Amino acid sequence: MGIQNFIPNLWTAAFLKNFSKEAVFANVVNRDYEGEIKASGDTVIIMELDEPTITQYVPGSTTLVPEAMTGATQTLVINQKYYTNFKVTDVEKSQSKINPMMEYTRKAARGLANTIDIQIAGLYAEAGSSVGSTSVPIDIKSTNLLEKVGDCAEALNGKNIPQAGRWMIVPPWFLAKLQITKVNQETSNSAVINNGYVSRFLGFDFYVSNNVSEASAKVNSKIMCGTRDAISLALQVAETEAYRIEADFASAIKMLYLWGHKVVNPNALCTFYASEVAES
C-alpha cells in the first residue's frame, strides 16, 4: 500500500478489527460510549438508571400516576494516552512477500489489546463481591474447582445479577484444572479459540488469558467474573497519519490511542482469589 493511497479511516477500521481479535478482557466489558471521545481529557457521563416499580393493577380502582425516574451519574475520564510510530524501508517492502506495514499494524493492535487487558485485569479489587481474599486465596484442585465456580455464581446471584451473559476469565493453570475434571467434554478436548474463549458451562462463558493478575506464577490469581454491565471501556484511535521520512528511503505510520475504563457497576463483578495446588 503506497503512502499516496493511504486512507486513515480504512486503516483505523482494520486496526480496531485486529484489536478486537486479540483482546480478551476488553471484549467482555461494555463499550457503549466510544463515539463520545474527541480528545484526551474528555469525560463521558454515564447515567445509572433506576428500576421502575412493579405495582399491582386493579381495574376500576387503580389510578395510574407516572413514576418519576431519577438516577445518579458517573464520569468516565479519557485519561490514557499511548502511541505507536514505526517505519518500513523501501528495501524491506520490496523484498517482502507480505505487506510489512499492515503486519506491523496488526502487531501494534495486539500490543494495544495486551496493554488494555492488563489494565482491566487490575480492576479486580473494585469487585462488589469475592470468593476468597487477597490475603487468604483458595487452594484449587480439580476436586473442588467446580464447587468454587458455583460459589462465584452464587455471589453474583446474591447481588441480583442476571445469569445471561456471565463470563469468567481464568489463567492457563486454572483451565488445566478445569480440563482434568472432564465435566465439559467439549472443553477438555478442544483448543482455545479466538479471543481466548474456551466454552460455556455452569452459567459462565469461560475465557483464558495470561493477563489475569497474580501475586506470582499460579499463586493468588485474581480471577474476575461478571457481566458486561460491570466495566465500561471507551477507546478511540484519535490520530492515524502516514508520511514519508525525508532523511530516509522509508515510509512511516504514527497512531495515537486514547481510552478510559472504569468499574461502573461493582455488583456485576466478582473476584475469585485462587492458587494452584498439585493434584494428589
Residue 6 C-alpha cell reads as 493511504
Report which secondary-structure segment, H or E, holds 204.
strand 204-208
Q: Which amino acid is at 6?
A: F
Return d(Cα 255, Cα 112) in angstroms, integer: 11
* Number of H-type helices and E-type strands within the chain: 6, 12
Model confidence at 191, pLDDT cuts 50, 70, 90, reads very low
Model confidence at 187, pLDDT cuts 50, 70, 90, reads very low
Between the alpha carbon of residue 205 and those of residues 26, 131, 276, the distances in Å are: 14, 18, 21
> Taking 60 as the threshold, does the pLDDT of residue 185 lie above it?
no
Percentage of the chain exceeding pLDDT 70: 88
- What residues does each domain of the chain span? 3-50+71-121+232-263, 132-230+267-276
Between the alpha carbon of residue 270 and those of residues 46, 47, 176, 226, 232, the distances in Å are: 21, 22, 21, 6, 15
- Confidence (pLDDT) at 195: 67
Return d(Cα 184, Cα 16) in angstroms, integer: 33
What pTM was estimated for this model as a whole?
Answer: 0.84
Least confident residue range of 15-24, 207-216, 226-235, 260-269: 15-24
In sequence order, what are the residues at sequence separation of 6 or more whose Cβ sits closer than 8 angstroms to the Cβ of residue 3?
242, 243, 244, 251
Helix (H, G, I), strand (E, B) or coil at 108: helix
Between the alpha carbon of residue 87 and those of residues 96, 251, 252, the distances in Å are: 14, 5, 4
Q: 132-230+267-276, what's its fold?
A: hypothetical protein PF0899 fold (3.30.2320)
Task: List pLDDT tens digits, range 52-73.
Answer: 889 999 998 999 888 887 777 8
- 75, 45 Cβ separation under 8 angstroms: yes
Task: List pLDDT tens digits, range 11-49.
Answer: 788 888 888 888 999 999 998 877 666 666 678 777 777
Q: Using CA of residue 98, residue 99, residue 103, residue 109, what is the dihedral sign?
A: negative
Partners of 221 in the beta sheet?
274
Model confidence at 246, pLDDT cuts 50, 70, 90, reads confident
Most confident of 55-59, 92-96, 152-156: 152-156
Domain boundaries 3-50+71-121+232-263, corresponding CATH code:
3.30.2400
Report which secondary-structure segment, H or E, holds 257.
strand 250-263
Asked if the domains 3-50+71-121+232-263 and 132-230+267-276 are classified in one and the same CATH topology, the answer is no
Return d(Cα 84, Cα 223) in angstroms, integer: 30
Residue 151 C-alpha cell reads as 460459589
